Structure 1
Amino acid sequence: MDRSGLIEAIGRKTAGGSGLPDEEIGRVVDAVFGTVAEPGVIAEALKDGRAVTLVGFGSFHDVGGEASLRPGKALNEFVHDRAG
């Protein structure tokens, strides 16, 4: 899934709620994950030596100078059809 696919999927997931326009969803995606020109908040936190933890999803952290995602239990269980 690329950026536009992610924006579209988020739009479908939130349609029953706020119904955010794709442009606004795109700004949020860019703010979290960054763009070629500007880092997102996850990258900025890692550069500052902090981890970013999203309960259920996982945590982004620095491992020996490499950015890494440690998937959370809920994400692993869902991906491997073990969600209960």
Structure 2
Amino acid sequence: MDRSGLIEAVTRKMTDGDTPSSEQIGRVVDALFGTVEEAGAIAEALKAGETVTLLGFGSFHDEDGTTGLRPGKALDEFVHGRVG
């Protein structure tokens, strides 16, 4: 899934009466993950030596000069078909 696919998927998930536009969701995605021109909040936190933890999803971390995602239990179980 690329950026556009992620934006479309998030837009579909937001089904309440006050759904933000795809453009607004795109700005949120860019603010979190960054763009070529500007780092996002996750990258800035990692550069500052922080770990970013999203409960149920996992944590982004920098370990020995390598950044990565350590999946949370809920994400791992969903991806591997143990919950549905």
TM-score bracket, normalised by the shorter chain, equals: over 0.9
CA distance in 2, matches of 1:18, 1:40: 25
TM-score when normalising by structure 2: 0.95
Q: In 1, distance between residues paired with 2:17 and 2:7?
A: 15
After the TM superposition, list the runs of 4 or more consecutive aligned residues in structure 1 that deviate by more than 6 angstroms: none
| C-alpha RMSD of matched pairs (Å) | 1.1
Where structure 2 has 5 or more consecutive residues not aligned to the other structure, the ranges are none
Distance 2:18 2:49 in 1: 34
The answer to whether 1:80 aligns with 2:75 is: no
Distance 1:37 1:66 in 2: 21
Percent same amino acid among aligned pairs? Answer: 68
Q: Using a 3 Å threshold, how does the CA distance of structure 1 residues 17 and 58 change in structure 2: closer, same or farther? A: farther
Where does the alignment leave 5 or more consecutive residues of structure 1 unmatched?
none
